[in-house]
């Protein structure tokens, strides 16, 4: 059953990127992240009460709470980097780099959680690494070195923080109901996001968000809420080294929609890279 939740997470995550991109064409990415986190928080606590796990709050241990907070901080960092990268870069470039967090997650799961790396998983890691490299054009690297738009820097930051989120989240939810764990860590993300808004003096931009973009930002938050609930339920019941690769299949949904909605096309090299990423992900499920 946890595999179904992992696939549900991938579908919702794929929709999140597209909806978020639609909502940050004129709205600052940090402000948009703070606003959408409110939606995710409401959604996650609603699921806590639906599942009837609110009474378990007092039983959350100190160690579990610390790791949930750390996971929330890592998630906040990943979100801020990811949506900044989406705002200034193409979806079909940003998403593959973000999804490369699979490789680091598997390595961390091996070192910290003792999850085994089989031959097939090793092959999968190599394919994902090669595929991600192929989807990064030379001009993208040159742009980063020249201090251009800098989306590559933010995309890499998103991947690093995302891998830390998965590992810390796995440890943090081992002693707490998954919906409650998600709600607690979302609160941490909300606080972090709004601190960033006020620290950068962007709080006045909230009331200037165009109504259409606000709708997309909120829809993105709902999609994220659905993805999180499925993802952490799968992490709670399954292996992090399997759940994370399935979740990363959302890249197919995201790139398909980026072509339909934003007319972002893949080069031949990028298409081959995407094939390697998907192949590597599927191989790790064998």
Q: What is the mean pLDDT of residues 194-206?
A: 92
Location of structure tokens 């690297």? 141
Location of structure tokens 């909502």? 23
Q: Which of 81, 92, 251, 73 is nearest to 164 (CA)?
A: 73
- Give pLDDT tens digits for 240-273: 767 777 776 787 878 887 888 777 788 888 888 8
Q: Which of 108, 115, 72, 123 is nearest to 228 (CA)?
A: 72
- Give pLDDT tens digits for 104-159: 888 888 887 777 778 888 888 888 888 888 887 655 544 544 444 578 889 889 98
Q: Which of 61, 70, 178, 162 is nearest to 108 (CA)?
A: 162
Q: What is the mean pLDDT of residues 78-98?
A: 85
Q: Which of 164, 12, 158, 37 is nearest to 87 (CA)?
A: 158
Residues 6+ apart with CB under 8 A from 108: 163, 164, 166, 167
Count of domains forming the chain? 1
User: DSSP letter string over 186-224?
Assistant: HHHHHHHHHHHHHHTT-GGGGGGS-HHHHHHHHHHHHHH
- Classify residue 177 by its DSSP letter: -
- The radius of gyration of the chain's CA atoms, rounded to the nearest angstrom, is 18
Q: What domain range includes position 22?
A: 2-283
Cβ atoms of 228 and 68 within 8 Å: the answer is no
Q: What is the pTM of this model?
A: 0.76
How many C-beta atoms surround the C-beta of residue 232 within 10 A? 27
State the pLDDT at residue 31.
Answer: 94
- On the question of pLDDT at 62 being above 90, the answer is no
């Amino acid at each position: 059953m946890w595999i179904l939740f992992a696939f549900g997470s991938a579908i919702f995550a794929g929709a999140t990127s597209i909806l978020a991109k639609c909502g940050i064409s004129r709205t600052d990415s940090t402000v948009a992240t703070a606003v959408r986190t409110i939606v995710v928080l409401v959604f996650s606590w609603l699921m806590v009460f639906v599942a009837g796990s609110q009474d378990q709050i007092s039983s959350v241990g100190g160690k579990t709470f610390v790791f949930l907070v750390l996971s929330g901080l890592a998630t906040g960092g990943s979100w801020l980097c990811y949506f900044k990268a989406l705002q200034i870069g193409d979806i079909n470039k940003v998403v593959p780099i973000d999804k490369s967090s699979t490789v680091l997650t598997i390595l961390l799961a091996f070192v910290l959680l003792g999850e085994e790396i089989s031959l097939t998983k090793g092959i999968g890691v190599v394919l994902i690494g090669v595929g991600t490299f192929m989807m990064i054009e030379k001009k993208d690297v040159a742009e980063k070195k020249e201090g251009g738009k800098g989306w590559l820097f933010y995309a890499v930051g998103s991947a690093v923080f995302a891998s830390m989120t998965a590992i810390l989240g796995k440890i943090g939810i081992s002693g707490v109901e998954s919906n409650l764990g998600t709600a607690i860590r979302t609160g941490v993300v909300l606080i972090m996001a709004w601190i960033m808004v006020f620290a950068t003096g962007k709080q006045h931009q909230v009331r200037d968000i165009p109504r259409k973009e606000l709708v997309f930002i909120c829809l993105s938050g709902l999609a994220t809420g659905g993805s999180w609930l499925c993802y952490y339920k799968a992490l709670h019941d399954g292996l992090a080294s399997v759940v994370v690769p399935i979740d990363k299949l959302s890249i197919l949904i995201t790139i398909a929609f980026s072509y339909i909605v934003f007319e972002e096309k893949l080069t031949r090299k990028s298409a081959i890279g995407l094939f390697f990423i998907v192949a590597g992900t599927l191989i790790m499920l064998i």
